[in-house]
Amino acid sequence: MSDAQDALFSFDGRPDGLGDGSDPAPWPFAAGLEAAVQTGAVHPSWAPGLAPVDGRLRSIAAELEARRAAGERILPAPERVLRAFSAPLDRVKVLIVGQDPYPTPGHPVGLSFAVDAHVRPLPRSLANIYRELADDVGAEPPAHGDLSAWADQGVLLLNRVLTVGAGESGSHRGLGWQKVTDAAVAALAARGGPLVSILWGRDAQALAPALEGTAVITSAHPSPLSASRGFFGSRPFSRTNDLLAGQGAAPVDWRLPAAP
């Protein structure tokens, strides 16, 4: 089950048009990777790893623009699509893989499993992540879904597919985003440690061969349909910190602020 399918269990009462993909902003990668780097959408350290998919980024941008011109509302907002790559590659020490952005306007922020801080109630997958977080390391679950505090510590929250049509779960899986995100994962694996990858569910676990030789934690997906089949009790957060310690890296402080 993808992140996107959490739309079945969540509601967003935020007015449309507030940085949620309804505006006509240009795609930062429409002119290719170099343009995305120049605008700050992609950190320069990702450029060598993503260079082989420069053409793919251009073709995806062209398709997104055609869809938008035809009336499709695309999420997240253009400036957030490549957000996962805006921080330095060298700072990444934990990879958490999601599937698709949430298809509810106002929800997706360019980081897997995260939502805008205003969203209530939280998507069910994220609520289950918080439940396991509390059981695992005793962290008090916040009321919000802003995970930027994790990203700031080197946790790469990466969806396999980086855009979606509003209200249409999985609608952009055929655009070729997997080639882009696969290239990013390959760049991480080639860089080496310290690195721990958390792969929840079969779609994420398809990346395991590309991460061979690095530390990988797998379990069922945290969605309501599968969390009870191996996600709960899997202790991914404490296990990650143990594996980081074994690589000589500082642990992640998984606690999140009460308010972002």
Question: In sequence order, what are the residues at sequence separation of 6 or more whose Cβ sits closer than 8 angstroms to the Cβ of residue 15?
Answer: none
Sign of CA dihedral 181, 185, 187, 188: positive
Q: Which of 100, 136, 146, 203 is catalytic?
A: 100
In this structure, the dihedral spanned by the alpha carbons of residues 85, 89, 93 and 97, taken in order and rounded to 10 degrees, is 30
Distance CA 79, CA 226 (A): 32
Structure tokens at 124: 């069910």
Annotation says 136 is catalytic = no
Burial class (CB in 10 A: 0-12, 13-18, 19+), 24: exposed
Burial class (CB in 10 A: 0-12, 13-18, 19+), 233: exposed
Distance CA 164, CA 75 (A): 5
Catalytic residues, by residue number, are 100
